[in-house]
């Protein structure tokens, strides 16, 4: 059952990535639908989580959980939008490759903010990940894939924001181990919905020709992906909650990230026709090693 839950965790993230990628293809140069898309799927996720919580037990929420979750939601929302923009401006395999190494951020933040002492493996992992970012940034045109100029900025911000979100989750777990998990996630999504709405208002007000803005989104490229992303995110969270009390994080997180990366890479090659040259394969191999050793 534990192995099944771990695999399903990765599958949920994988499917979520696919449908976020599908939505990103419909954006073109329009950015205003992005926060609305995120608003919809986060809203659906909140409703699903509240139903689960009402069935499972009473709602409990401490003040520090509320504060940490609210901060976490800000970065989760920004990360989600940056990831979709990155998917729309670069290959899915390479985007998820870089996105999967976001665990370096909470590790670095823990060293400075929680006074944790780095292990040799963590230092090696951080150096390796920084090397991957530098290699990809300066060799984007040599990776055999169509990559737009803004892609690296989007994916870098997605990694940074996700890393801060993960650090907040780690901080929450340190304060309340395996408690108030669903409550935390609900507040996270609600906070994220506020941020995405602010982003939408900003994008709407800065739109040069508002008369051309169309809110009649096609269900197949907007609402269906939003529903699936919401359900997959909730499914991934429930699997993570189930596994977190049974599997050490040293095993859980790297295995989940690696499975997600493998599924995404296979899908990108088979279904999207992406081709990996030697440099990309080197980056994937280095990422796999980095993900493993940074969690040792």
More confident residue, 29 or 127: 127
CA distances from 172 to 50, 65, 119, 156, 243 (A): 20, 7, 22, 24, 17
User: Average pLDDT for residues 231-253, to the nearest whole number?
Assistant: 73
pLDDT, position 259: 82
pLDDT at 268 over 70: yes
pLDDT at 186 over 70: yes
Q: In angstroms, rounded to a whole number, what is the distance separating the alpha carbons of residues 58 and 213? A: 43
By C-alpha distance, which of 227, 199, 202, 200 is closest to 215?
200
What burial letters (b/e) apply to 206-220, b meaning 16+ CB within 10 Å? eeeeeeeeeeebeee
* 8 Å CB contact between 237 and 185: yes
pLDDT at 274 over 80: no
User: Average pLDDT for residues 69-97, to the nearest whole number?
Assistant: 89
Per-chain mean pLDDT for the chain: 81
Q: In angstroms, rounded to a whole number, what is the distance separating the alpha carbons of residues 161 and 179? A: 24
Residue 188 pLDDT grade (very low, low, confident, very high; cuts 50, 70, 90):
very high
Tell me which of 58-72, 98-112, 153-167 is least confident: 98-112
């Amino acid at each position: 059952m534990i192995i099944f839950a771990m695999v399903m965790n990765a599958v949920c993230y994988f499917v979520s990535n696919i449908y976020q990628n599908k939505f990103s293809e419909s954006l073109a140069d329009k950015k205003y639908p992005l926060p609305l898309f995120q608003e919809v799927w986060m809203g659906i996720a909140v409703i699903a989580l509240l139903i689960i919580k009402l069935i499972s037990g009473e709602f409990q929420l401490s003040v520090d959980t509320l504060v940490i979750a609210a901060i976490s939601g800000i970065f989760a929302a920004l990360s989600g939008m940056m990831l979709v923009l990155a998917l729309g401006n670069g290959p899915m395999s390479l985007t998820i490759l870089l996105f999967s190494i976001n665990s370096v951020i909470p590790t670095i933040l823990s060293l400075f903010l929680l006074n944790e002492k780095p292990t040799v493996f963590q230092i090696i992992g951080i150096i390796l990940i920084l090397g991957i970012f530098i290699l990809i940034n300066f060799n984007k045109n040599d990776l055999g894939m169509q990559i737009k100029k803004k892609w690296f900025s989007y994916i870098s911000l997605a990694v940074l924001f996700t890393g801060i979100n993960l650090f907040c989750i780690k901080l929450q777990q340190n304060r309340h181990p395996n408690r108030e998990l669903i409550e935390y996630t609900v507040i996270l999504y609600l906070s994220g919905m506020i941020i995405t709405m602010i982003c939408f208002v900003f994008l709407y007000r800065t739109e040069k020709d508002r008369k051309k803005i169309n809110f009649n989104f096609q269900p197949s490229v907007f609402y269906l992906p939003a529903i699936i992303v919401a359900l997959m995110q909730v499914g991934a969270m429930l699997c993570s909650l189930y596994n977190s009390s049974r599997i050490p994080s040293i095993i859980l997180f790297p295995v989940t990230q690696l499975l997600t990366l493998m599924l995404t890479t296979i899908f990108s090659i088979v279904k999207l026709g992406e081709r990996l040259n030697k440099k990309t394969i080197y980056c994937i191999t280095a990422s796999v090693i980095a993900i493993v050793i940074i969690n040792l």
